[in-house]
Amino acid sequence: MRSGFLKTGMILLLIATILGGCQNIENPVENPSASATPATDTGEDKDSDNLITVGFAQVGHESDWRMAATESAMDTFSEKNGFNLSYVDSDNNPDMQIDAVRGFIEQKVDYIVIDPIVTTGWTPVMEEARDAGIPVFVIDRMIDCDEDLYVAWFGSDFTAEGEAAGAWLDAYLDDKGRGDEDINIAIIAGTEGSSAQIGRSEGFDGYTRMKPNWNKLDERDGEFTRNGGKRVMNEYLEKYKDIDVVVCQNDNEAWGAIEALEDAGISFGKSGIIIISFDAVYDGLSDVLEGKINADFECNPLSAPYVADAIRKIDRGEQIVNKINYIDESCFQYEDNVKSIMRDGRMADMITVTWDILMERAY
């Protein structure tokens, strides 16, 4: 693990302490992944009475992607940037996350930011926040409630990510002369009921339904974790004798699947079973560079700076025009054989990972 952006050990220590106690639809947002810059740093500490208080209910710390998102939020909503952050790691417990939001309401914070674990069950607490006059922002995963109950959402188009994976696999198989072969595909899904899982599954399934020779063997919940990915991959290896493609819905699951395949002595990546992943964190792209993962589709974790900018606009009396704001993302591959794919109705370049590209990554 690279020690630059993630500072993993420091974050884990902070989390342990706490547990103890875009591309806009109308206006594209510039992709911050190459040079992530949090909200403006004035270089001076602010008077605590003038700080904007923000309560942030995070999903947990289940993946490298999540850790990068957490550090981005902590850097962005810092005192030097004019904020006082109240942070709760919900440890992938939906009830704990709802309780955290209610705690923020009781604290009378100025703003609430939620990265929801699951999409459902949010209406009551969101109504409580509205009645308390506290604006709410949603990032990363979406929630199923009246859109009037939150100011705006910033994050990834998960369905488009799944579609991109399907489009790449279609083009890749054609390039390899396998376009007409029967292809057996196993899916290691993310946390069931999360919008990331729902969107990526729906997007990829759309391609599967269009390809009569693509056989979806199974789809099981790997919980977005390395252990979950390894467990599901072992289950698949016991049940299915012929697997051509494994689609892992994040990099941590891919690492677990790779470990299971290595233990079983089965070739993968550039020399065997095709591995598709999502997130494109630094270590994920390292595996793409080595040919362990064939393609990786970015899910940008750096939503916090956009939320901070939106909060500043509200404080200046400005309107937040768009409810849904997609952050720009890229698509990566090991081989230089697929130049571009159709993603969400427009052409997207496939980037072949090099050492220089890897060194430019912010997470």
Q: What pLDDT shows up at residue 65? A: 87
Across the range 67-91, mean pLDDT stands at: 94
pLDDT at 43 over 60: no
In which band, very low, low, confident or very high, does the pLDDT at 35 lie, cut at 50, 70 and 90? very low
User: Do 262 and 308 fall into the same domain?
Assistant: no
Q: State whether 176 and 203 are in the same domain.
A: yes
Per the model's pLDDT, the better-predicted residue between 312 and 30 turns out to be 312
**Which residues are within 8 A (CB) of 350 and not within 5 positions of it... i.e. 6 or more apart?**
168, 295, 331, 332, 333, 338, 339, 340, 341
| pLDDT higher at 30 or 243 | 243
The percent of residues in the chain predicted with pLDDT above 90, rounded, is 76
**Domain annotation covers residue 3:** no
User: Residue 221 domain-assigned?
Assistant: yes
Q: Does 37 score more than 50 pLDDT?
A: no
Query: Which range among 24-28, 45-49, 83-87, 340-344 shows the weakest confidence by mean pLDDT?
Result: 24-28
Residue in this structure with the two tokens 């020690």, named with its chain if needed? 3
Query: Which residues is 188 bridged to in the sheet?
Result: 220, 248
Joined together, the tokens standing for residue 347 give: 């052409």
pLDDT of residue 200: 96
Indicate whether 282 and 305 sit together in one domain: no
Structure tokens at 214: 């693509």
Q: Is residue 33 part of a domain?
A: yes
106 shares its domain with 215: no
Q: What is the pLDDT of residue 150?
A: 97
The confidence band for 24, taking pLDDT boundaries of 50, 70 and 90, is very low
Q: According to the model, what pLDDT value does residue 9 have?
A: 38
pLDDT at 44 over 50: no
Beta strands in the chain (DSSP E): 52-58, 83-89, 111-114, 136-139, 152-155, 183-189, 214-221, 245-248, 274-279, 295-298, 324-326, 331-333, 340-343, 346-352
Per-residue 3-state assignment (H helix, E strand, C coil) for 46-107: CCHHHCEEEEEEECCCCCHHHHHHHHHHHHHCCHHHCEEEEEEECCCCHHHHHHHHHHHHHH
The pLDDT > 70 percentage for the chain reads 87
Residues 275-327: pLDDT tens digits?
A: 999 999 999 999 999 999 999 999 999 999 999 999 999 999 998 879 999 98
Return the pLDDT at 47: 54
d(CA 335, CA 290): 10
Task: Round to whole Å and give the CA distance between 270 and 266.
Answer: 12
Same domain for 121 and 241, yes or no, is no
pLDDT band (50, 70, 90) for residue 363: confident
* Separation of first and last alpha carbons in the chain: 11
pLDDT tens readout for residues 264-274: 999 999 999 99
Q: Tell me the two tokens of residue 184.
A: 């057996």
The answer on 165 and 252 residing in a single domain is yes
The pTM of this model reads 0.78
**From CA 56, how far away is CA 146, in angstroms rounded?**
20
Residues 207-220: pLDDT tens digits?
A: 899 999 999 999 99
Residue 273 and residue 177 share a domain: yes
Range of the domain at 143: 8-156+301-326
- Number of domains composing the chain: 2
| Greater model confidence, 174 or 194 | 174
Q: What is the mean pLDDT of residues 171-175?
A: 97
Q: 193 phi and psi, to 5 degrees?
A: 95, -10
Q: Do 151 and 210 sit in the same domain of this protein?
A: no
pLDDT over 60 at 166, yes or no: yes
H or E segment to which residue 152 belongs:
strand 152-155
Task: Pick the range with the lowest mean pLDDT from 2-6, 136-140, 232-236, 331-335.
Answer: 2-6
Cβ atoms within 10 A of the Cβ of 239, count?
11
pLDDT value of residue 275: 98
Q: What are phi and psi of 253, to 5 degrees?
A: -65, -40
**If pLDDT is split at 50, 70 and 90, which confidence band does 38 have?**
very low
Q: Which amino acid is at 209?
A: R
Q: Is residue 1 part of a domain?
A: no
Q: Are residues 217 and 269 in the same domain?
A: yes
Q: Are residues 122 and 265 in the same domain?
A: no
Q: What whole-number distance in Å separates Cα of residue 266 and Cα of residue 281?
A: 25
Q: Which two tokens stand for residue 105?
A: 């309401």
Q: Distance between CA 66 and CA 199 in Å, rounded?
A: 18
Residue type, 234: N
pLDDT band at 27 (very low <50, low <70, confident <90, very high): very low
**In terms of pLDDT, which residue wins out, 240 or 62?**
240
pLDDT given for residue 48 in this prediction:
60
The CATH number linked to 244 is 3.40.50.2300
Is 271 within the bounds of a domain? Answer: yes
* 127 in the same domain as 237: no
Do 95 and 107 share a domain, yes or no? Answer: yes
Does 191 reside within a domain? yes
State the pLDDT at residue 14. Answer: 37
Averaged pLDDT of the chain: 87
